Structure 1
Amino acid sequence: MIDPLYVVSGFGVGLLVGMTGVGGGSLMTPLLILLFGIHPATAVGTDLLFAAATKAGGSVAHGLARSIHWPAVIRLACGSIPASIVTLFVLWQLDLNGESSRSLVNLVLCFALLLTAASLIFRKAIMERYRSRMQRLDVATTARATVVVGAALGVLVSISSVGAGAVGVTALLLLYPQLPMTRIVGSDIAHAVPLTLVAGIGHWATGAIDWPLMGVLLVGSLPGILIGSYFAHRVPEAALRLVLAATLILVAGNLANRELRSSFAYIAAFAPASAR
């Protein structure tokens, strides 16, 4: 039986993704952890394959519209795919379903959410300050920097499923200031597909995927993305970004508070035994 709450959650996330372009991981993964109590590793793995499925359609649409800068996509992938594989191996060594993995995912997720919020709030200021400097970079330097950015995104996305949206777009805007926004967004989406697919398959190999849950989320999110895309130009972008950034900061605070409480409880439980 399909849980209506999961469908509504998927629809809400899809609606915001369609309206803002921010990666669904920034919204879906914390929602699964905080609201539904799903283990962080399972939430991340499920969301990664969920993102690969939803962004594949967007990538095809951008490809047909010729709004993808493939050199940037290839450079990002050259850094992100190897970094993702290495990160997944480290997570496998830690045991994805263990407490150490839970803490690592929660902490990296908090960092990724705050980074996403900062990129939403300060993107314009960052662009005004560094755009002229980045325009002076030669092609080789830009290519190397893109691979490094891809590697950073590979680590971030593989652990938290967050980073391939607002953070990736901000980085591409800095590195390729000559490209129009449509090609920046198209390139970011195209790169997110192989990255989330590889990372998702890695989580699947360790059993950290809830397939029925992913199917239910897709039922709600796909209509949400279509409707959100339709209303994207009818809602004040600046106000929407500020509200979304504030939401991400609040969610990051709740995750951090939850992790601190869990750590203190763990210490309190073992302190008497160690004292004896």
Structure 2
Amino acid sequence: MLTYLLLIGIGMLAGLSGSLVGLGGGFIVVPALAFLFPELSPAQLAGTSMTMLLFNSISSTYVYSRQKRIDYSAALRFAAAAIPGSIIGALLSTMVTGRLFFISFGIFLILVSLLLLFKPTRPIAWPLRPTAQRSFIDRSGVQFDYAYHMPTGIVISFLVGFLASLFGVGGGSLMIPTMTLLLAFPPHIAVATSMLQIFLSAIVSTGTHAVLGNIDWMMVLFLAPGALIGGQLGARLARRLPGPLLLKILAVFLIVVAVRLMTNGG
């Protein structure tokens, strides 16, 4: 019983943090499962976390589609690039030893934390000319006009799909900054479009992990509902808490977790 309550709690914390600061809960789930269930292999950590994220992303994608803020053209193309990367990541996860996995994941967390702490406030001047232009109106009547360099998004989507599947994270922490800073996507469109892309690639990634036997379905059964509850709580708290402060707190927390994984993991 205690184990099941812990899993629900982990899921709630993952959903809460993800909803508050716009990150996937994999950054919470993977370290938590690694510390509490050391018998799990790196592949099982990644596969179980990715499966929880798949179920958790369904409701988010549905909400964004209702808001009409998803750039379907970009999402489908980016997902098509991310899917091969997610398959490769899932396959390689079975070959990565515990020590190497935790050191790599720790480095990944530190890089993400630095990105959160020192993220530029304005888009970076990208030297490549835009190859795609978009203009549409969301459900509330707000019009969005922007242009971006499609090949850049495709290349980065492949890398994000690979890393997300390898480590069992959502990938939004990398894809959303890329879309807003390099591809000039409006922030609201970037978040919604990234969620659909991650959802589509997570289907394939989860399927690959399932075929490889990397998923602990009993854990997912308790992690997923907890994440859904946490996501709802986070959505309500996000309106009352300052976003920049939350990002800094999360970044510091991730650095501490990363150091702990790199020194004690495996």
Bin for the TM-score computed over the shorter chain: 0.7 to 0.9
Match of 2:74 in 1: 72
For residues 102 and 192 of structure 1, the distance between their equivalents in structure 2, rounded to whole angstroms, comes to 26
Match of 1:196 in 2: 202
Match of 2:253 in 1: 247
C-alpha spacing 1:69/1:223, structure 2 compared with 1 (3 Å): same
Please point out which of 127, 131, 136 is paired with 1:139.
Answer: 131
For residues 196 and 103 of structure 1, the distance between their equivalents in structure 2, rounded to whole angstroms, comes to 25
TM superposition outliers: structure 1 runs of 4+ over 6 Å: none
Report the structure number with the largest CA radius of gyration: 1
Match of 2:37 in 1: 36
C-alpha spacing 1:228/1:199, structure 2 compared with 1 (3 Å): same
The superposition leaves residues 90-134 of structure 1 with CA deviations (integer Å, 9 ceiling, x where unpaired) of: 445x3xxxxx432343233112211221221122x2x43xx2513
For residues 99 and 124 of structure 2, the distance between their equivalents in structure 1, rounded to whole angstroms, comes to 40
C-alpha spacing 1:147/1:246, structure 2 compared with 1 (3 Å): same
Give, in angstroms, the shift of residue 26 of structure 1. 1.1
What SS does structure 1 have at the residue aligned with 2:171?
A: coil
> Are positions 1:24 and 2:25 aligned together?
yes
For residues 70 and 127 of structure 2, the distance between their equivalents in structure 1, rounded to whole angstroms, comes to 20
The superposition leaves residues 27-63 of structure 1 with CA deviations (integer Å, 9 ceiling, x where unpaired) of: 1111111233233221110110110111011111101
C-alpha spacing 1:41/1:86, structure 2 compared with 1 (3 Å): closer
Q: Contact 1:69–1:183 at 8 Å: present in 2 too?
A: yes
Give, in angstroms, the shift of residue 246 of structure 1. 0.5
Match of 1:97 in 2: none
Match of 1:48 in 2: 50
C-alpha spacing 1:103/1:194, structure 2 compared with 1 (3 Å): farther
- Counterpart residue identity of residue 249, structure 1: I
Match of 2:191 in 1: 185
C-alpha spacing 1:113/1:132, structure 2 compared with 1 (3 Å): closer
Match of 1:4 in 2: 5
For residues 163 and 116 of structure 1, the distance between their equivalents in structure 2, rounded to whole angstroms, comes to 12
Specify which structure has the higher proportion of strand.
2
Q: How does 1:77-226 map to 2 (within 5 A)?
A: 77-92=79-94, 94=95, 100-123=96-119, 125=120, 127-128=121-122, 131=123, 133-134=125-126, 137-139=129-131, 142-162=149-169, 164-177=171-184, 179-226=185-232
Which deviates the most, 193-202 or 70-79?
70-79
Q: Contact 1:48–1:197 at 8 Å: present in 2 too?
A: no
What SS does structure 1 have at the residue aligned with 2:231?
A: helix
- Counterpart residue identity of residue 107, structure 2: F
The superposition leaves residues 207-242 of structure 1 with CA deviations (integer Å, 9 ceiling, x where unpaired) of: 111101111112222111001101112101111111
Unaligned runs of 5+ in 1: 95-99, 263-276
What SS does structure 2 have at the residue aligned with 1:234?
A: coil
TM, length-normalised to structure 2 = 0.86
* Count, aligned residues: 249
Give, in angstroms, the shift of residue 24 of structure 1. 0.6
Specify which structure has the higher proportion of helix.
1
- Counterpart residue identity of residue 29, structure 1: V
Match of 1:60 in 2: 62
Q: Contact 1:108–1:156 at 8 Å: present in 2 too?
A: no
CA RMSD of the aligned region, Å? Answer: 2.0
- Counterpart residue identity of residue 173, structure 1: T
What SS does structure 1 have at the residue aligned with 2:204?
A: helix
What SS does structure 1 have at the residue aligned with 2:222?
A: helix
Match of 1:231 in 2: 237
Unaligned runs of 5+ in 2: 133-147
Which deviates the most, 77-86 or 250-259?
77-86
Q: Contact 1:12–1:221 at 8 Å: present in 2 too?
A: yes
Match of 1:265 in 2: none
For residues 76 and 25 of structure 1, the distance between their equivalents in structure 2, rounded to whole angstroms, comes to 20
